[in-house]
Structures are given as C-alpha cells and as structure tokens.
Amino acid sequence: MSGPNSAQLDQQLLTPKFFADPYSVYRRLRNEDPVHWCEPWNCWIISRYDDVTAGLRQDGRQFSVVGQFGSYLNALPETDRPRFEPLKQHFSIGLLHSDPPDHTRLRGLINQAFTPRVVERMRGRIEATVNALLDAVLGEGEMDIIKDFSFHLPAIITAEVVGMPPEDRHQFKAWSDDIASFSASNRMTVEVAERAQSSVLAVRGYLREIATQRREQPRRRSHQPARRYRGWEGEAGRRELLSTCVTFMVGGHETTTALIGSGLLALLRNPDQLDRLREKPDAAKSAVEEFLRYESPNQRIIRLVKEDFELEGRQIRLGQRVMFLLGAANRDPAHFSEPDRLDVCRAPNRHIAFGLGPHFCIGAPLARLEAEVAFSALLRRFPDLRLAQDSPEWLPSYQLRLLKSLPVEF
C-alpha cells in the first residue's frame, strides 16, 4: 500500500516541525501522493480538495462515523480494553457518532437551537462578554490572547447554551481537554484513555444534574439543547442527549478558541491585511472566513470505510480508516488562488473548515458570530495591537490548529 516517497512523508508527519508548519507537508501530499497510506497511523490520508469534498458527501454511504473512536481502543493491550467500555459506549451514540438515519433524526432535534436566527439573537450577549473580557486587561498594556480572551469567550457562551454556570468553565475546560486528547490521538495509551473516560463520566453526571434542574425549573426563551426534550424521551434518548451535549461542549469551545488565536496571529503577521481590515471594518465576516480557510481550526476528519473502492489507483478496503485533511484541502491551489497568501476579502471562498455533507458542523453559525464580534472589538479597541514574540508555540495536536499562547502588547 506504499506510495512514492511514502516513508519520507510518514517521517515528516511525525516530526515536531510539522506542528509549527504543516502546510509544506500538505503540499507534498497533494502533489506527490494525494491518496497516501500512512503506516504509523494505520490509515489513508486524503489531501486534495476534490477528493476530500467528494468523500465527505458520502458520509453514511461509502464512509461511516459509527465506531471510529471506539476503534482507537484496539491499540491498547487486549487485557485493558474491557474496563473502557463506558468510554466506548459514549463514542458510539449521539450526533457526532451516528450515521443517517439516526444522525438525521438527532440533527433535526438539535438544529432548532442553532439556526442563524437563534444565534443572531445572542449577538448582544456575545458583545457584552467580549467587552467585559477586554475591559479586564485594558490597563495592563499586554495580554495572552489565548489565556485571557479566546479561551474564556467560547467557554462562557457555550456554558450558557448548555446550561452550565459560567463560573464552572475552568472545570469544563479540563474535561474538554481530556476528551479531546482521546479523539485527537494517533497513538492511544492507557493513560489517555483513563483521563478521557474519567472526564466523560464526570461531565455526563454534571449535565444529567443540569438537565434535571431545567426539567423541574424551565427557563423562558432558553436556547439550551438540554431544555428541548421532545424527541429525547426514555433512557436511550437521554444517553443520546448527553453525548450530543458533550460533543457540543468540546467542539464549541475549542474551535472558536483556535480560530481567534490563529486568525489574529495571521493578521498581525500580515500588516497589509491588518490595515485593509481596519480600513474596511465591515469586512470582518469575510476575514473570519479567510481565517477559517488559512488556519483551519479542525485540521482533519476521520472516517471508517463501509465498502471497498478505488481512488487514484489505490485499493481502499472495508474497515480501514480514512483521514480527510481539511487543512490541506483548504490550501489546494486548484480551488484557491495563491492559497498560502492571507486575503481578508477573498471571494469566492468555498473553504470546508466546518466540514461538508451530513456532518457539517452544527455550531458553525455560533463560532462565526463569536469570531466576528471578537475581531471587530479587538481591532476597534486596540488600534496598536502587536505581537509580543515572533514565534508563538503551537499545541502538538494533529487534530486542532491551536496556539498554546499568543502574547500581545497594545
């Protein structure tokens, strides 16, 4: 199953330099081996825009999400696997872990909480949260965008949507980090699985209490998924609801944190685009779309193959894993002019940072609005915003394009 230069490409994917700049490796994959078998990860890597979009449209037919995360446990010693049955069960139900028709049913139940109209009604709350966070650092002359701002904004808003008190967001982040480490892992260990299972059980217990409180003391005009019980009846429905809420907590928090951090870094490294956005503040929406393309927060999507098929002369077999590289597809020169150049007014910009097809990210409208409000406020309130160091460090994750920190001065 090896392609040309397969070993070289595998080695590049495993080096620390990859996290600082994955795009040179993505370029090689697209050009030299767009359907690449990665031996260390035991999966196919698909990197061209056309192949990625075609594959994502086949969710539920040619590809499946069912069991994809549970299969990670197969890398553990056989004697250890039985004690992780609760973790496996969690990753086998709910919105993110089901194919149509179950996924279609679940998405219909949750969609009502995240329509563009419902999300737009949250603009005032998001603006107030952004301004409160910026007020807290205004007199300091410096801040860490990740630690002081981009973590707190989506954590506060996501907590409110789910029904968590905002002051619990630090506990929520700890749970989220543990669960995300499991789903983003390429090399599963007992330690990673233990932390993830402990956090899954803790957060499900926490959300079960919130759901009970909301059922007994309903709030008027709530947008919380935990408040919308029609269709979630019975024990099976409650398990699906809890799994879906955990998915939203993890994804809703990390995507926006990553988007604001990487987007601002890209902007400050491209002063011509920073000036352009200051001159055209109404281009904030367009800029957010470009940040999503340029540094896609979620770099990959993994699926299981449901049937044998051939792609670029490679035989892909039932049961194998396929990794669709969103970060590579969004810089494919076949679809984006000068793809490695930041252009805050790029049009058209048909990026796939939120995925495509049946599993298109349901929280995309909320992430977009949070980022739009955040960038508008940052540029308006800090006209001399600048980087405090040249080379911020990236989180060593193959899943998330997330900065560890981003110190800035103003």
Tell whether 220 and 365 lie within a shared domain.
yes
| Residue 69 domain flag | no
d(C-alpha 199, C-alpha 206), whole Å: 10
Tell whether 314 and 368 lie within a shared domain.
no
d(C-alpha 189, C-alpha 77), whole Å: 9
Compute the C-alpha angle 380/295/320, nearest 5°.
150
State residue 236's pLDDT score. Answer: 76
d(C-alpha 379, C-alpha 280), whole Å: 11
Would you write out the chain's pLDDT as a tens digit for each of its 410 residues?
Answer: 455 578 889 999 988 899 999 999 999 999 999 999 999 999 999 999 999 999 999 999 999 999 877 778 888 899 999 999 999 988 888 888 899 999 998 898 888 888 889 999 999 999 999 999 999 999 999 999 999 999 999 999 988 887 788 788 888 888 888 888 887 777 789 999 999 999 999 988 888 888 777 766 665 444 444 444 456 667 777 788 888 888 887 777 889 999 999 999 999 999 999 999 999 999 999 999 999 999 999 999 999 999 999 999 999 999 999 999 999 999 999 999 999 999 999 999 999 999 999 999 999 999 999 999 999 999 999 999 999 998 999 998 889 999 999 999 99
State residue 4's pLDDT score. Answer: 55
Tell whether 286 and 138 lie within a shared domain.
yes
State residue 219's pLDDT score. Answer: 55
Tell whether 399 and 321 lie within a shared domain.
no
- Provide the token pair at 262: 């990487």
Tell whether 100 and 244 lie within a shared domain.
yes
Tell whether 235 and 272 lie within a shared domain.
yes
Tell whether 324 and 368 lie within a shared domain.
no
| Residue 76 domain flag | no
State residue 168's pLDDT score. Answer: 86
Is the CB of residue 276 less than 8 Å from the CB of residue 341?
no
| Residue 74 domain flag | no
Would you call 91 helix, strand, or coil by DSSP?
A: coil
Tell whether 215 and 178 lie within a shared domain.
yes
Q: How many C-beta atoms lie closer than 10 Å to residue 132's C-beta?
A: 12
| Residue 14 domain flag | yes
| Residue 73 domain flag | no
- Provide the token pair at 290: 């470009």
* CATH number for the domain harbouring residue 26: 3.30.43.20
The number of folded domains in the chain is 2
Tell whether 275 and 343 lie within a shared domain.
no
Sheet-wide strand order for 386-387: 142-144, 407-409, 386-387
**8, amino acid identity:** Q
| Residue 70 domain flag | no
Enclosing domain of residue 102: 81-297+353-409
| Residue 96 domain flag | yes
State residue 126's pLDDT score. Answer: 97
State residue 241's pLDDT score. Answer: 80
Tell whether 47 and 175 lie within a shared domain.
no
* CATH number for the domain harbouring residue 209: 1.10.630.10
State residue 229's pLDDT score. Answer: 45
| Residue 72 domain flag | no
Tell whether 316 and 386 lie within a shared domain.
no
Tell whether 161 and 22 lie within a shared domain.
no
d(C-alpha 283, C-alpha 269), whole Å: 18
